[in-house]
């Protein structure tokens, strides 16, 4: 499936045509447009800095970000040849996501340890809507499962709530 990327959004004041299309300009106009685009999967925004900074910027843009949304934003960090599994350290068979780069795991772990983001259990329907699910049984409770079980999660910023 070929993905088409739009040009990054600019923060310039909108012209008359943009006002007619999107509504009256105010100080939150650009931020609201980026959030609106992010909700439909086309972020249209260039993230800067190292991977942890970019991931934080994406999560802060729209709280409740799933791994499926991160995969659309950072496809090079997923389906890696040496892909790793992000799992619960106390329960290694409780899986958050598979086939991701060590760099992404480190970035998310850093953001979580610094309490810049939270990771919250999510309804599997979130992933169905976002277009990516893991083919494994769902976690029902904290338990030392013998086989891998999936715990769907979303990420939110702790600062910009």
Query: Tens digits of per-residue pLDDT, 22-76?
Result: 555 444 555 555 555 544 344 456 677 889 999 999 999 888 999 999 999 999 9
* C-alpha to C-alpha distance for 27 and 12, rounded to whole angstroms: 11
C-alpha to C-alpha distance for 53 and 11, rounded to whole angstroms: 20
Residue 37 and residue 44 in contact, taking contact as beta carbons nearer than 8 Å: yes
Residue 63: closest CA among 152, 132, 160: 160
Closest CA to 67 of 133, 14, 143: 133
Judging by DSSP bridges, how do beta strands 84-87 and 153-157 pair with one another?
Answer: unpaired
Q: According to the model, what pLDDT value does residue 48 have?
A: 72
Q: Distance (Å, rounded) from C-alpha 145 to C-alpha 3?
A: 37
Which residue reads 């029902």 in tokens?
140
Rounded distance, CA 139 to CA 145, Å?
Answer: 9
Token pair for 65: 């970000």
Average pLDDT, the chain: 80
| Residue with token string 């329907």 | 125
> Which of these, 37, 108, 31, 110, lies nearest to 66 by C-alpha position?
108
**What's the confidence (pLDDT) of residue 99?**
94
> Is the pTM for the entire model greater than 0.85?
no
The domains of the chain are located at 7-46, 64-157
- Residue 108 class from Cβ within 10 Å (0-12 exposed, 13-18 middle, 19+ buried)? buried
pLDDT at 8 over 80: no
Is pLDDT above 60 for 140? yes
Task: State residue 83's pLDDT score.
Answer: 78
């Amino acid at each position: 499936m070929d993905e088409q990327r739009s040009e990054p959004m600019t923060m310039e004041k909108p012209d008359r045509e943009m006002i007619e299309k999107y509504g009256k300009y105010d100080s939150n106009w650009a931020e609201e447009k980026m959030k609106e685009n992010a909700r439909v999967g086309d972020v249209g925004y260039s993230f800067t800095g190292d991977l942890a900074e970019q991931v934080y910027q994406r999560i802060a843009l729209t709280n409740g970000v799933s791994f499926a949304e991160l995969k659309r934003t950072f496809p090079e960090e997923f389906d890696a040849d040496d892909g790793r599994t992000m799992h619960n350290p106390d329960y290694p068979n409780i899986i958050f996501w598979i086939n991701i780069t060590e760099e992404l795991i480190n970035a998310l772990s850093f953001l979580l340890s610094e309490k810049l983001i939270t990771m919250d259990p999510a309804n599997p329907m979130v992933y169905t809507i976002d277009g990516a699910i893991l083919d494994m049984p769902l976690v029902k409770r904290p338990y030392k499962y013998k086989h891998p079980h999936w715990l769907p999660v979303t990420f939110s910023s702790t600062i910009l709530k």
